[in-house]
Structure 1
Amino acid sequence: MARRLGNALRVLLSSYVTTGISAGVGLLLVSAGVYLLFGRFPASVAAVGAIICIPPDHALPRRGKLRSLLPAALLGLPLFVSVQALHDQPLYLGLLLVPATFFAFLAGAWGQRGVPIVISIMLAMIFSMAIPQHLNTGSLMNTALYFAMGSACYVLYATASNALLNGRYRVQLLAQSMLTLSQLMRTQADRFDPTTDTPSTGQLMQQQAALADQLQSARDLLLESPRTTRRQRLAAMLINVLEMRDHLLASELDLDLIKSRPDSAEALTAMRKVIDQLADEVDRMADALLRGRKPAPLTDLRPALAALNRIQAESSGQPGDTPSLRTLLRGLTNRVGNINDEILRLNRLARGDVEPDLAAVRTAWQLFVSPTNWSLRPILVLWRWDAPPMRHAIRAALAIGTGYLLSLALPWATHGYWILVTIVVVLRGSLSQTLERRNSRVAGTILGCVLAGAILSTQAPTLLLLVIVPIAQAVSHSFAIKRYLITAVAATVVSLVQAHLLSGVDIPVFNALERIADTLIGVGIAWAFSYVLPSWERSQIPSLVNRTLLAQARHAQVALNLGHLTAVDNEPELEWRLARKEAYDSLSALVQATRRSIAEPRAVRPRLESLESLLGHGYQLLAQLTTVKTMLLMRRHQEQEDVQDALRVAAAKIDSTLTAAQAPEPSIPLSVGGWEQEGTYSDPFVYDLKPWILRRLDLACGIAERITADANTALQPAGEPERSPDRQ
């Protein structure tokens, strides 16, 4: 129970709920203000103008907030007015809806930034259909002015609100990244347990992908204008989180080999407890940030990890134990210790015990932030038949056209626009997302109809309903990303109550039943049209695989360059961070595409086993190179000439393997051989690191070859028998 309450509190204190509350307050101010000044009908229309600007209203950097909101307001107004003008001409209205839907859905070419704009444009047209002409006693110009007034007021309010809440958003996104990381830590800790079935690598990769998305959102905010000490401290904490992710990934190295030895079970179980304990500490720090408190000081767990090494040393005389396995276990213990060290630094920064030193890279941090300008390139390059945004736009236009024609034939055609609303929110670019929305939308609509029917049956006064709509809108906006079922319930309440405000004569019970019927029809249409001109994930897999291979090759080149150890500025370090980010992002995109393809028909699925193997090896290569970089930093004050050639040859070999180029002849052998024999490797954290660096490079080159084999198998044409990567 305590854990559930804690999780519920984290949700309530999250940026999603904060933006939802902000949106609800803005809608309340707009609708109530216009109601007090002009009356019920103008307030309802102004509320529609505000509602269409809410979908793109999220926690964003200050400099790009206005640009993210303007397209919804500027594009929504002419479409709203056009629908009003054609309200009594069903044929011409349909001829407007279909092409307008096509061009609206082309905004999906901008990815996650474009989807809210699609929703806004479609809502502007559909909600315009909801305004009965017999209640519009004023001119079309007056209605347009009310709509524009609501949009303009909300855009100004949302921009100001985002600026005022900027500091809070920075804290929330950092805390949410830490909570996502702690979940990944617990999953990784379970893999240390030798007595239970370990979590699948697929679960780890999905959590890695979720963390990558969360970290990008955090970068966009925390790395914007880090001029004050507080902002610099939060940015430094984000960098610590990034380092923790690397060390956590590196903790996977040699784990399977060590687990194969029964005599290592005690140490692995102890390390699992340590990682779980560290994850709890991360959760506590995140909770303290969300609640505006200073985190409690942490206890260094390095002594506990050192005790594990002593236990291994004392048991070294047991039969079957070898020094090489002891040193491997010691290396694993040290990598867990690196996580501990980063968490300690994170805690000291959060407490203000140390000052961040970020001046050297502050001016270059803009490279890690998502662009805020609306470039025309995504639109210019999609005019081809196989482009997914193009096919989705055609699919959506056909679905909306079908839904509109069907709404005209229904006996309750007055509210046929509800069918169109359902199609817009359910139909997605992939089948898996459409199916997920389908189930949540039906369940949420039924629950929302019951709730809205209860509200409207009380015959509440107009002013109270104008308060209920913003509250429901706040809930809907808060959970649109995290829990769509709740959003569907709240959105249904908004739709029914708003329709009642616009008409004032409908019978609530019939509206609820009608809403359920329209939802079922709309869901059915969206589901059916998800199979029309489908963009199956396998058509996107080749480009994603190629992006992954190029990103891995680039990261290897930069990570194995000694320039970051000798440079007088931070350019090499910045270059490595950018390459690392692209490597993680490319893997994340491939993980998400692979996951979406599972819901597709078996005949069109890509080769999932090969893709999962490629992803697993991709994360392993990142872990190997991260460990090499860590060891190079450990001996940065020593001469590096003894490993320079090996680093150069390994980088060239990995690059040529992943990019299918001609591999150069190595000037020295990478494989040191015999590493399992006693005495080959000394303690890597006391004596010579060179043998360990060479071993990691050798393993990295081998993993690169397996990645290439996985990619070749995954990209085989459909219909060919799948070849095992190990046999290629």
Structure 2
Amino acid sequence: MFSVLGPHVTNGLSVAIGLIGTALILYAIGGLTAAATAGVGILIATMADLPAQKHHKLQQMLPGPLLGVPLFLAMQLSHDSIQQQAMVLICGSFVSFLAMAWGKRGGPVSAGMMFSMVFALAEQPPRGLFEALHRTGWFALGAGIYVVYGVVSNGLLNGLYRNQLLADAIKGFAGILRTQARRFDGHVHAGGVMSDMLTQQAALADALQSARDLVLESPRTPARQRRAAILMALLDARDHLLACDLDIDALARQGENATVQPALRDALLFRARQLETLATALLLGRGAPAQPLPYRPIPEITAPDNSALREVIARVATIASEVDRMYALAHGELKADIAAVRETWQLFISATTWSWMPLRSLQGWYAPTLRYALRGSLAIAIGYLVSQHLPWAAHPYWVLATIVVVLRASLAQTLERRNARIAGTIFGCVLVMVVLAEHPAPQVVLGVIALSSAVAHAFVVRRYFITSVAATLLGLMQAHLLAADVHPVFAAAERIADTVIGALIAWGCSYVLPVWEKSSVPQMVQRALAAQSRHAELALVPASTTSPDLQWRLARREAYDSLSALVQATARSRSEPRAVQPALEPLETLQALSYHMLAHLTAVKSMLQLRRGQLDMAVAEPALAAAAAAIARALTGSEPAAPRRSRAATVDPSQARPPDMLAADLTPWLLERLAVSQSLAAQMRAAADLSSGS
């Protein structure tokens, strides 16, 4: 259900409809030759056609085609000279790969520029300047018409995209709930669960940011406000689940609770099913999802004096209340309260404007994007040279296209793309043989092309193997229509050979001027520590009507995002040669400690918000301020990583006790939790120093 009805599939189908529709319009206007050239421009424009905010869709789609037009023309004009064509390819590739300085936003722009040149190789040499300009005009017209279609279709589908991206995030959180439920299985190793949890949290951080970018845009209407409120409730539920992890640690140390733990596991699994039901309803575009599944309460506790057990149950109940709040918001039974983001939603979304600022990161020989551009240019140069000396040189662009899609900024991503590209091409060629063996009518072939274009676009980020299969179908079916006299077996053999050659070139060049993850780890570590320090500063502010909730939410997002980036970089480094890998053990320790720090601060923040009356604020307020200052000093390195006589350094975070909610005064618990947080900060600093080799 989630794979079929997700935003990527909706977007893929929209792209396929626009691609085929625009091509048919241009075919009716200018004929097959004009439509074929315009189709290249259409393909370039589709690369940036992704779910986006309504007011920023045009500036998302324009750069690729605008920059692709002069490159397409340059390739047309250099057709008569291999040397000139090689220079255009090499210089154009360098500029194209530099677009990755803008991060994820730069990806479609870079790909559009590259494929403008690569697809131009498939064109027959023009007969003079006029024909080159004529073709470029059709290229620009096809891209321009599709850009208009992309903006309009994104506006029409915006509400559906909001639902689907929100459903994606809810499903990701449901998966984390299921992982947390495994903690109650005695035979499951806690370390393995922690590793899975960190990986899932990193994926959830990406899904949440994608949801924020659309769901929080201009939340003016009641429907938009409901979706935004559901997203905010999801973020709060994530915090409660994080704090619950600490209490599960305490509960796991008490063997007598083994009989109750299966009930707690079932409770979390039940809430995960509820969230999946809600996500499915959102995917189906229903105005209101189905009612929550009937809840079966946890059996009565047999150890009423067990504060750890009471706290875990309280946490599960809080998560359940957030799930119920999501349902109530979806049904319109609860008014959306999103004052924190209604007027400041721009602060929570990704950057949407283009500027020259990212180019400043290219200064210096060791700049990662600069090295990536040089590496990519070298790979394209080698690929072009090799393609000119192949016995089947009629399709040299296949080699170059493979290099473009396989060569990534990191070795781990390049290896993943290499394997997926080769396997997908082979599987796609087999499918082509099966389809063409039945001698399908042209209408069937066109249908396969349309479906292939939808699938290729839909899964290009999510699962590239599927995209590779679909792209192979698309390419060979187009070749079959344009050159029916070419035997399909020979075309497939060419495609496989070109793919293998291109993938090997990309893989080999990934070792040229490499930028190993080890070089970026120190900056990522410092970003994570700074984010944790800022989050601690705002989380330890006593809750009141004047508390900086907006700033705290922004700090919380940065803390999660910085930890997610560090987790992903560590995972990528495992594919690199052992000699250049960073110190993985302290990095993993730092990630686990950061996760626990977020959990401790979340527990404290929750206590300040919900149980302020059970705290002696005359004692708590100076303790909170002192703890925030001590954490900042430890994380920023302004004091030794592990002071010998510090009380905080003598506290074992794994032994932290959960609060006894029946106690009249929870101040002792707060003071202990603050001491634990200071200890964690000191340990994080020590792990950070080890990971950076200092």
- Asked if Structure 1 and Structure 2 have the same fold, meaning a TM-score greater than 0.5 normalized by the shorter chain, the answer is yes
Indicate whether 1:47 and 2:39 are aligned. Answer: yes
Report the number of matched residues: 687
Deviations 1:391-417 (A, max 9, x none): 111100000000000111111112111
Q: Using the TM superposition, give the Cα deviation of residue 439 of structure 1 relative to its aligned residue in structure 2, in angstroms.
A: 0.9
Deviations 1:184-221 (A, max 9, x none): 11111101222433433221101000000000000000
Indicate whether 1:144 and 2:136 are aligned. Answer: yes
The alignment partner of 2:683 has SS state of helix
Number of the residue aligned with 1:6? none
Q: Using the TM superposition, give the Cα deviation of residue 260 of structure 1 relative to its aligned residue in structure 2, in angstroms.
A: 2.3
Q: Using the TM superposition, give the Cα deviation of residue 467 of structure 1 relative to its aligned residue in structure 2, in angstroms.
A: 4.5
Number of the residue aligned with 2:289? 295
Maintained 8 Å contact 2:169/2:204:
yes
Maintained 8 Å contact 2:402/2:499:
yes
The code of the aligned residue for 1:540 comes to S
Aligned counterparts, 1:618-633, within 5 A: 618-633=594-609
Maintained 8 Å contact 1:382/1:390:
yes
Number of the residue aligned with 1:285? 278
Task: Please report the TM-score for the alignment, with normalisation by the length of structure 2.
Answer: 0.94
CA distance in 2, matches of 1:670, 1:468: 65
Indicate whether 1:658 and 2:658 are aligned. Answer: no
Q: Using the TM superposition, give the Cα deviation of residue 672 of structure 1 relative to its aligned residue in structure 2, in angstroms.
A: 12
Q: Using the TM superposition, give the Cα deviation of residue 79 of structure 1 relative to its aligned residue in structure 2, in angstroms.
A: 0.7
Indicate whether 1:605 and 2:581 are aligned. Answer: yes
The code of the aligned residue for 1:295 comes to P
CA distance in 2, matches of 1:212, 1:428: 22
Number of the residue aligned with 2:198? 205
The 1:669/1:606 distance shift into structure 2, 3 A limit, reads closer
Task: Please report the TM-score for the alignment, with normalisation by the length of structure 1.
Answer: 0.90
Maintained 8 Å contact 2:250/2:658:
no
Of 649, 663, 667, the residue aligned with 1:690 is 667
Number of the residue aligned with 1:311? 302
Indicate whether 1:196 and 2:188 are aligned. Answer: yes
Q: Using the TM superposition, give the Cα deviation of residue 476 of structure 1 relative to its aligned residue in structure 2, in angstroms.
A: 0.3
Q: Using the TM superposition, give the Cα deviation of residue 266 of structure 1 relative to its aligned residue in structure 2, in angstroms.
A: 1.6
Maintained 8 Å contact 1:653/1:663:
no
Indicate whether 1:646 and 2:623 are aligned. Answer: yes
Deviations 1:447-491 (A, max 9, x none): 222333455566766666555433211110111122211100111
CA distance in 2, matches of 1:539, 1:682: 42
Number of the residue aligned with 2:10? 18
Deviations 1:263-286 (A, max 9, x none): 021222221111111101111111
Number of the residue aligned with 1:95? 87
Number of the residue aligned with 2:227? 234
Number of the residue aligned with 2:554? 578
Unpaired stretches in structure 1, ≥5 consecutive residues? 1-8, 314-322, 718-728
The 1:283/1:676 distance shift into structure 2, 3 A limit, reads closer
The alignment partner of 2:184 has SS state of coil
Q: Using the TM superposition, give the Cα deviation of residue 90 of structure 1 relative to its aligned residue in structure 2, in angstroms.
A: 0.9
Aligned counterparts, 1:502-581, within 5 A: 506-562=486-542, 564-567=543-546, 572-581=548-557
Number of the residue aligned with 1:587? 563
Number of the residue aligned with 1:438? 418
Indicate whether 1:179 and 2:171 are aligned. Answer: yes
The alignment partner of 2:46 has SS state of coil
The code of the aligned residue for 1:245 comes to R
CA distance in 2, matches of 1:96, 1:476: 28
Q: Using the TM superposition, give the Cα deviation of residue 71 of structure 1 relative to its aligned residue in structure 2, in angstroms.
A: 0.8
The range that moved more, 148-157 or 187-196, is 187-196
CA distance in 2, matches of 1:412, 1:546: 52
Indicate whether 1:715 and 2:687 are aligned. Answer: no
The code of the aligned residue for 1:420 comes to L
Aligned counterparts, 1:94-113, within 5 A: 94-113=86-105
Indicate whether 1:381 and 2:381 are aligned. Answer: no
Number of the residue aligned with 2:119? 127
Deviations 1:230-254 (A, max 9, x none): 0000000000110111111111104
Maintained 8 Å contact 1:72/1:117:
yes
Unpaired stretches in structure 2, ≥5 consecutive residues? none
Maintained 8 Å contact 2:93/2:114:
yes
CA distance in 2, matches of 1:391, 1:467: 42
Number of the residue aligned with 1:257? 250
The range that moved more, 462-471 or 23-32, is 462-471
Maintained 8 Å contact 1:671/1:695:
no
The code of the aligned residue for 1:312 comes to A
Q: Using the TM superposition, give the Cα deviation of residue 19 of structure 1 relative to its aligned residue in structure 2, in angstroms.
A: 0.4
The 1:675/1:701 distance shift into structure 2, 3 A limit, reads closer
The 1:410/1:670 distance shift into structure 2, 3 A limit, reads closer
Deviations 1:660-692 (A, max 9, x none): 114899xx9879999999xx9983245222122
Number of the residue aligned with 1:395? 375
Of 301, 304, 307, the residue aligned with 1:327 is 307
The 1:681/1:122 distance shift into structure 2, 3 A limit, reads closer
CA distance in 2, matches of 1:157, 1:457: 36
Number of the residue aligned with 1:616? 592
CA distance in 2, matches of 1:116, 1:21: 18
The range that moved more, 509-518 or 624-633, is 509-518
Number of the residue aligned with 1:71? 63
The code of the aligned residue for 1:626 comes to T
CA distance in 2, matches of 1:122, 1:669: 59
Of 217, 220, 223, the residue aligned with 2:216 is 223
The code of the aligned residue for 2:387 comes to S
The code of the aligned residue for 1:267 comes to V
Maintained 8 Å contact 1:646/1:670:
no
The 1:514/1:674 distance shift into structure 2, 3 A limit, reads closer
The code of the aligned residue for 1:581 comes to R
Number of the residue aligned with 1:316? none
The alignment partner of 1:52 has SS state of helix
CA distance in 2, matches of 1:383, 1:682: 52
The code of the aligned residue for 1:148 comes to A
The alignment partner of 1:53 has SS state of helix
Identity of aligned residues (%): 45
The code of the aligned residue for 1:628 comes to V
CA distance in 1, matches of 2:457, 2:622: 56
Number of the residue aligned with 1:410? 390
Q: Using the TM superposition, give the Cα deviation of residue 585 of structure 1 relative to its aligned residue in structure 2, in angstroms.
A: 0.5
CA distance in 2, matches of 1:34, 1:458: 30
CA RMSD of aligned residues (A): 2.6
Maintained 8 Å contact 1:48/1:147:
yes
Q: Using the TM superposition, give the Cα deviation of residue 291 of structure 1 relative to its aligned residue in structure 2, in angstroms.
A: 1.6
Maintained 8 Å contact 2:94/2:373:
yes
The 1:55/1:104 distance shift into structure 2, 3 A limit, reads same
Number of the residue aligned with 1:318? none
Maintained 8 Å contact 2:587/2:691:
yes
Deviations 1:329-351 (A, max 9, x none): 21222112211111111111112
CA distance in 1, matches of 2:420, 2:162: 31
The 1:28/1:217 distance shift into structure 2, 3 A limit, reads same
Q: Using the TM superposition, give the Cα deviation of residue 631 of structure 1 relative to its aligned residue in structure 2, in angstroms.
A: 0.6
Number of the residue aligned with 1:274? 267
The 1:89/1:681 distance shift into structure 2, 3 A limit, reads closer
The range that moved more, 18-27 or 632-641, is 632-641
Q: Using the TM superposition, give the Cα deviation of residue 30 of structure 1 relative to its aligned residue in structure 2, in angstroms.
A: 1.1
CA distance in 1, matches of 2:271, 2:436: 51
The code of the aligned residue for 2:571 comes to R
Q: Using the TM superposition, give the Cα deviation of residue 637 of structure 1 relative to its aligned residue in structure 2, in angstroms.
A: 5.3
CA distance in 2, matches of 1:647, 1:143: 68
Maintained 8 Å contact 2:651/2:676:
no
Indicate whether 1:596 and 2:589 are aligned. Answer: no
CA distance in 2, matches of 1:558, 1:108: 34
Deviations 1:61-109 (A, max 9, x none): 1122111110111011111111111112111100110111011001111
Q: Using the TM superposition, give the Cα deviation of residue 424 of structure 1 relative to its aligned residue in structure 2, in angstroms.
A: 0.4
Maintained 8 Å contact 1:650/1:670:
no
